[in-house]
Each structure stands twice: as C-alpha cells, then as structure tokens.
Structure 1
Amino acid sequence: MNPRITISSRRRFLQQSILATGASVLGFPAIVSSRSPNGKLQVGVIGSGGRGASNLKEVAQVSDIVALCDVNEKNLEYASAAHPQARKYRDYRELHTKMEDLDAVVVSTTEHTHAFAILPALRAKKHVYCEKPLTRDVHEARVVMEEAKKADVTTQMGTQMHATANYHRVVELIQSGAIGQVGEVHVWVGRSWGMQTRAEAEKNDDLFVKAGLLDYIDKMPEKGLAVPPQIDWDLWIGPAPMREYHDIYLPGPRWYRYWDFANGTMSDLGSHWNDLPFWALKLDHPKIIEASGPPPHKEIAPANMTATWTYGKRGDLAPVTMHWYQGTAVPKPIKDGILPNSVKNGVLFIGEKGMLFADYGKHTLMPEEKFKGFTPPKPFIPDSPGHQKEWIEAAMAGKKSSCDFSYSGLLTVANHLGGVAYRAGKKITWDHVAGKTDDEGANKLLTREYRAGWKL
C-alpha cells in the first residue's frame, strides 16, 4: 500500500467500487467491528506457506496478525519469526475455538480443506479471505455461499488477476458494448499438468518432470514414504480418505493433480481465466455442460481436456457458449487462424461487432483495422489497492469485495461442473435450484464422503 494513500481516500475507493459493481452495503457497522485499539483488523492466518506466505505478507501491511496456523512446522516457524506476537497453531480446528479476538481469517490451505477452514469462521461472523478455488467440489461451494450470505460479512476469493487494471478495462469494453452482444467465448491455457503419457510429460515440461517424479506421471505409487518430521500428515489429509505420505503430494502444487484433494487445472487456472468472461458477461448458472478428453483416471485429473458451458439469457444479455481448452487441446480460434499458434493462453470474446482478445497483461480489439481510432469508454471500475488489501479495506468499511463469495462461489461451481461432466463422460444439464444434474453418476461427483471425525 502506498503510504501516501489516506484512510479517507481508501474509503472513497471502496464507495466508488461498490457503486461500480452494484454491490450493496452490508449490515455490520464500519470500523467499530475492529477489536484493535489502533483501528486495524485482527487477523488469523490459516496456511502460512506458499500462497499463504504471499497472502500473509500482503494482509500484514494493513492489519494486525494475531494468530498463525500451518500443518507444516517449518512454515509456521518462518511466519512466526516475522510475527512473533501472533499465537501459533498446527490444527486450524483449535484456532476456530479461540476466535474471540479475531475480526477476520485468511485461508490458504489445500482446496480439499478450504470449506472446513472457512465455515467455522463464517458461522462466527468473521470476515474471510480464501485462496482459489473456493472449495474442492460443487456441494461445498453451495454450502459456503449460503453460510456467507447468512454471516453478512466481507468475503473474497483469492483470484488476484481480478484486481488488475487490464481485467478492469476488458470488463468495461465488453459491458459498454464495444463488440456488441457476445454469444461465444473461448478460453485456453497451455499448462499440461496431470494425467498424461511419459512422452507427453517430457515434451510439456510437466511439474513432475521438473521434480524428478516422472515415474508417477500416469500411476500411483505402490507404497508410501516416511513422513517428513515437520509435517502433520493426518491434519494435512483432513477430511480426505487416508493414504500413505509420498513426495507426489508435497510440496504444493503437486497435490492438485489428485481428485481427492483438488480438480486439476480446470478448477485452479479456471479461477483466473474463466473469471474474466464470467465477470464481463455477468454469467451465473450454466444450463448445459459437456467435456471431452482422455479416459478419466480414478485418481488423477487430466493434463489435457476441453469443456463447454451453455448459459441462457441474463436480463438483456444474449445467451453465451463458453469453451475451455487446456494442455494440448487446440482452441478453435487458433484452428481457424484467428490467432497464431504462439498464443498459449488467452480469452477470445466473439461479438456481433467484432472480437476482443485478452490475456493477463494486455487486450486487443479485433480486427484491429476495424477498431483503429476507437475511443474506449471512460473507466468505471476503480483501480484496486491490491486484491488482499481491497478485502481488508472493504471489511473495515462494511462493504462487499469485488470477488466476494456470492460471485466467486458461482464461478467455482461452474468450473467444477466442467470437471464433473468430464469425469461423468457425458453432457449434463444443471438445475441450480435443486443443486443437481440430470445424471445420477454426475450427481455423485458433486460431493464426497468425509473421513470419520470430519464434517462440515
């Protein structure tokens, strides 16, 4: 945070952003909810390594860190060295029993434990920031959304690209009608992590190749390894089925290949890349979802796959078909020669009056000659002070964040439904009111059984 930015200017940012996004003022009072005499939020951090370390660093600039938790003792001690005043926990369930002095909680665990770390905080009416994807499955996302609505607190899913100026400008162009009504969107990522052949993994420079784990690129180990002394493996497994420790799971993000802990590239990068069309086109509940790829593996998510979501009208907005491609799947815009093979990641909106291509850092209206001299709309989405800081400041002001759970929960559900359609091996129809599809096999993939001793 720029020290020259005053509290009042930050509040102006929040007031402007609420007006720009149509968010409503929450019921809790501003500022006075802070339990600190200096007016800062008192924050507990669950997961302090990896992404957690980054979130901790950002949040600590504008709040007081009073509790730290991590199943990895080394991560916990490293974070504690920077915040010696904070009490320490290995088990976040213990932290949950001692939240009286907390205003907010940051969750940066693996996604199979997100809901378990989030829900007690929401039920205690604490503000919550959670890394993407919001939950491990569809059912958990719906439960978290409902509890967040009841709690009436400030929430934010950690998809940091949502706070960037480039994403803001794309949303403004689409929503102001620069390319007319959009009926088709293509999203693709070049990352090829997951179930694939050894040859494909070597060609794609897979994460497991880099880690020296190529032997396990397409199979599970026959036996486990000794648990590193700093890891509480039982706590790390949490609600998932118990299995022996192995290097294929830790350090992160190796674990995200496995269905018991995550949903692969679809839920991970989909939180970033699908966020852009989801926001710009005001998407909500997909009607039909289908996916394709290699035969699903029982344990491992795919490196390469495609998915398609069909959305109906949303007010005056036209129905939209959104396509996802990952790994070696070739996007239709590249097959058709609209964009070159060298474009490994991107989003292409196809509208009545033209197209808009975007990636993380830039965007282009197409065909470029048609839009030569085009005057973009006056920006109406205020610049963000940073994704984590925005959440803190919104909580202090009693406002919604830009990626709060009512929005990011829907995005998470849609992404997970792409994985469900892939694993079910058939086109599915989604009934968002009933919370189920038209296929019993797919419905079984919307949730999971929890290990004994764990429940939401």
Structure 2
Amino acid sequence: MKNNKNAINRRHFIKRTALTGIGITIIPRRVLGKGFTAPSDKLNIAVIGGGGKGYTDAIHSWNNDKNNITAICDVDWGQSKRLMDKFPNAAKYKDFRKLFEDNNDFDAVTISTPDHTHAVIAMAAMQLGKHVYVQKPLTHNIYEARTLTNAANRYKIVSQMGNQGASGHGVKQMIKWFDAGLIGTVSEVQAWTDRPVWPQGIEPPTEKPTLLNSLDWDSWIGPAQWVDYHPSYHPFKWRGWWNFGTGALGDMGCHLMDPPYRILGLGYPTEVESSVGAIYKKLWEPENNPESCPPSSRTQLKFSATTKNKSDVTLTWTDGGLRPFHPELIPADHPIGENNSSNGVLMIGDKGIMTCGTYGRNPKVYLNNGDVLTPNDLGTNILPEHGHHTAWIEACKEGYGKEKHQALTSSFDYAGPLTETVLMGNLAIRSYMLTKPKGDNKVDYPGRKRLLWNGEQMKITNFDEANQFVKREYRAGWSL
C-alpha cells in the first residue's frame, strides 16, 4: 500500500466499513502498513467556546495537526475569531444544540464556556457518545457534578477536567514525597488565592446597552435565569455573578485544592463553614448583593481520615488576596506557594510541611530537622507541554475503560468529587450571605453556622435552607 494519507479520508473509511459489515472504525497502524495514518490516528474534535481558554484548549488538543478541529461553536464569534481564522474549514455554529443536531462528524468535544453551561453541554455530548474535555470547575453546582460523574460511566465515554496541573511534574513529585512519609501525617491544609481579579460584591447593572452584533445572547444565557445583556457579564466578568460563575473558589479551587485532595486521598467533606468580606457604602450597612460573589471569603472544610492519611484533615481556603501567615518551620525570607505568595498550598504534617503554588509549581518540603527539599531536576518545566490534553486525546483513541483512560489524572470519577468539594465552599458562602428580617430594623443571618454535610445524599443535615444551593432551577426550555 502506498503512503498516501489522503487516499482514504475518515468519513469515506467509516462509510465503507459499515457497508462491508466489518463494523470497525479503529484500525491499528500495523494493519495498514508503516507510514500510513489510519483514520483513527487523528481525533476529530468539536470546540465549544473558542475564545480565551477555549482557544488554548483547542490548540493543545489539535497539537500541531496531530488531530482535526472539525467544528467551532461559540455564542460570540467576535471572541472566537482568532480560532475560526486558524481553522477556516471548520464548521461554525453559535448554538451547541444546532451543532449536535446537524453535525456528527466528530469524536470528542472540548467545552470551555462560562461555568453555568458546562453541565448541559457536556451531558448532551455524552448522550451522543462523544468524549468530553470540560474546563474547571467541572460544573456550576454540586448536583451537576454528581450527575456528570455518573453519566460519564453510564455512557462509557472518556472524560477529563481542565485542571492541567493535575498532570504536571510538580504534583507527581509531591505525591512521591508524601508517599515516602517525608512530612508524616497531615492534619491541616491551607490554600489561598489572589482572586478575584474581576469585580465582585457589587450591585447588578441596571442600564441596557446595545447588544453586540456578534453575540447570541439567548444562547449565552442558556440554562441560567434571564438577565439583559451587559458588559458586566460578558466577556469574562461573568465569573463574579452566581447566576453564571462560581467566584474565586470556582476559578482557582480545582487548581489549588487538587494537590492535597489527590495526595491525601480525600473524599466528600463532612462539614463546612464560611465567612465573607463586606463592602460598606453606608455606616453599619454592608452592601454585599446576593447576586454577586463576595469580594473576599474564608472557608473551612473538614474531612475524615483516609487510607493514605491516618488523620482527620481541616482545609482552610482564603481568597481576595488574603493568605495564611508563615509557619515557624518556613524561613521568614522564603515565599510560600508561588514566588510572590499570591497563590499557594501548605500541607502541614507531623514531620514537616509541603508547599506549592498553582499547578503544583515550586514544590518544596520543609522538614522538622531544618532540611529543605526541592525538585532540582524539574527546572521550570512543571507542566509537560500539552500533557493534560494529550493524555485525554490518547485515551479517547484507546477508548473507555482501557489503560490510558484509567490513568487520566482528572477523569470525572476524580474531577467530580473534587469539584463537589470546591463548590461546597460556595454553598457555605451563599448560606452565610442569606438574610431574614428580624424586627426593629435589624437583620438576621441564619446561615452563619457550621454546616454538616452528608456527601452520599448531597444534603446539609442541620440547616435545610442551605440545600437550595446544591442545585439550581433551569430556565424554561433547558434541562440536564
């Protein structure tokens, strides 16, 4: 057989095998001969959300023409113009439902849209048997995360969440350190971020600017409750509104909580408690709006001991630029977490402390005897190029349940419970912000308490009003 990569295109190959009754669409290279690119060697990928992170997700999955970008769907073609210009032959859509209805010539989907649409798009794709890569956080609420986790196994598809540090060298090194017993048993974890870097704790806009010509606003709203278009929502600033985003925790929690969650083998938290920063415009009257995420927050999650870590664990999260103070074991002139300490993790054990920044950057161990360990052999290459995406692509080619799929670092079996843990913090934050009239012009805050969580039942057991934040009501015409 001659080495002619264009001799058999993928669509013709599938059609021909179906007609002959072979029923096989994936043929190993060795069957077709050396140098021949089998139709299955290039994954056909549909991109949903092509601006910002969606662009890099598409480029990393395409991986210098090792795979095909066959369709691009974005509610705002102005935001995705760069990607559409790079792949002019890709079919173009504004509504993912139209893509799924009209076009079946793809194997997998990358989903890099605002948080509130992750679940409905991923579920629709999985129901069609498409493999899915979904940006972090996996979903907008806890119920959606549990539902997608179960669905990925039910529909037997390969899944990956986009917390790329999970595939990095830094996290792998930290696992080795912990498994070797260097820091002993961990009872306390601190995680923090400088987010939000967008407006939060503000009043919703009231003016109605002209809608962008490039934007399908109805599709952008999707399952969320309707609000009129405003640049305070799109692009990017949607992160600070509960209707669409998940705040600082949703943005960074899946990156920064991943190392301790993975390394310690944590499960569902048993309880959660939060407090939030306030903005004051009048004396004694905080102006935090229930529609907007707070400007800063502090959350404490508790976990039971695991087979990997024989102690209960308290994980404290802070955002809004707040961070923990230096432990005595870490020298005063050493930054904690990132080099500028803006994001980071501390895992405090009885033999030492392990610390890192976002994506597992700058991992270090400080031992009780004064020794400091750093992975000098890693250099600056903490994240393998395209590693998180490439692992997903290769697993898609091999198929559900096979070795490469089982080795993925953020398949939904893992990413779902991690996301639930992150979003548990948001449940506590929103409960903390609940108010009720108390009389004499005073306000009661009934949710400012320690909330007890039954993970299996997805239920707060001591404050029923908090359970309204486990899931959301979808706009008419939308469902999961």
Whether TM exceeds 0.5 here: the answer is yes
Residue 264 of structure 2: aligned partner: 281
Counterpart position of 1:17: none
Q: Is the 8 A contact 1:186 1:333 kept in 2?
A: no
Alignment of 1:121-270 (within 5 A): 121-191=125-195, 193=196, 206-208=197-199, 218-252=202-236, 254-270=237-253
Change in 2 beyond 3 A, CA 1:158/1:384: same
In 2: Cα distance, 1:30 partner to 1:348 partner? 48
Task: Judge conservation of contact 1:172–1:377 (CA < 8 Å) in 2.
Answer: no
1:443 counterpart = 2:467: yes
Segments of structure 1 that go 5 or more residues without pairing to the other structure are 1-28, 194-205, 209-215
CA distance in 2, matches of 1:373, 1:188: 22
Q: Classify the secondary structure of the residue corresponding to 1:403.
A: coil
Q: What whole-Å deviation, never above 9, does each CA across 1:390-411 have from its counterpart, x for those lacking one?
A: 1101212233221111111111
- Structure 2 residue aligned with 1:111: 115
Tell me the secondary structure at the aligned position of residue 247 of structure 1.
coil
- 1:217 Cα deviation after fit: 6.2
- Mark the CA change 1:452 to 1:375 in structure 2 (over 3 Å): closer, same or farther: closer
Distance, in Å, in 2 between the alignment partners of 1:404 and 1:288 is: 25
Judging changes above 3 Å, is the alpha-carbon distance between structure 1 residues 75 and 305 closer, same or farther for their aligned structure 2 residues?
Answer: closer
Distance 1:190 1:231, change over 3 A: same
Whichever residue aligns with residue 37 of structure 1, its letter is: P
Q: Is the 8 A contact 2:364 2:375 kept in 1?
A: no
Structure 1 vs Structure 2: percent identity of aligned residues? 32
Paired residue secondary structure (1:207) = coil
Which of 291, 294, 301 is the aligned partner of 1:302?
294
1:432 corresponds to which letter in structure 2? G
For 1:353-408, what per-residue CA distance to the aligned partner results, in whole angstroms no more than 9, with x for missing partners? Answer: 11112113212211485325899999xx9967511111101212233221111111
Deviation at 1:160, TM superposition (A): 1.6
Amino acid in the other structure paired with 2:260: P
**Contact 2:352/2:368 (CA < 8 Å) preserved in 1?**
no
Which AA in structure 1 matches 2:464? E
Q: What residue number does 2:422 align with? A: 415
Partner of 1:56: 58
Alpha-carbon distance change, 33 to 359 in structure 1, aligned in 2, over 3 angstroms: same
User: Do 2:143 and 2:470's aligned partners in 1 also have CA atoms closer than 8 Å?
Assistant: yes
The aligned amino acid for 1:73 is W
How far the C-alpha of 1:414 sits from its partner, in A, is 0.5
* Alignment partners' CA distance in 2, 1:248 and 1:417: 26
Change (3 A) 1:46 1:354: same
Q: Structure 1 CA distance, aligned partners of 2:328 and 2:211?
A: 47
**C-alpha deviation, 1:101, in angstroms:** 2.3
The TM-score, its normalising length taken from structure 1, stands at 0.82
Match of residue 454 from structure 1: 478
Contact 1:273/1:347 (8 A) holds in 2: yes
Specify the alignment match of 2:21 in structure 1: none
* Higher RCO structure, 1 or 2 (CA under 8 Å, sep 6+): 1
Q: Name the amino acid aligned to 2:93.
A: Y
TM-score normalised by the chain length of structure 2: 0.78
- Provide the residue aligned with 1:322 in structure 2: 315
Contact 1:40–1:64 (CA under 8 A) maintained in structure 2: yes
Tell me if 1:406 matches 2:434.
no
Question: Matched residue of 2:45: which SS?
Answer: strand
The 2-side partners of 1:238 and 1:77 are apart by 21
Partners of 1:442 and 1:362 in 2: CA distance: 37
Aligned residues: 405
After TM superposition, what 4+ stretches of structure 1 lie above 3 angstroms from structure 2? 29-36, 75-78, 332-342, 372-378, 381-385
Determine the C-alpha separation between the residues in 2 that align with 1:316 and 1:402: 17
State the alpha-carbon separation in 1 of the partners of residues 139 and 38 from structure 2: 30
Q: 1:372–1:389: structure 2 CA closer, same or farther, 3 Å change rule?
A: closer
Gap regions ≥5 residues in structure 2: 1-23, 30-36, 279-287, 433-448
Q: 1:419, CA displacement in angstroms?
A: 1.0
Distance change in 2, residues 1:338/1:145 (3 Å): farther
The SS at the match of 2:477 is: coil
Q: For residues 434 and 373 of structure 1, do their structure 2 counterparts lie closer, same or farther at Cα, with a shift above 3 Å needed? A: closer
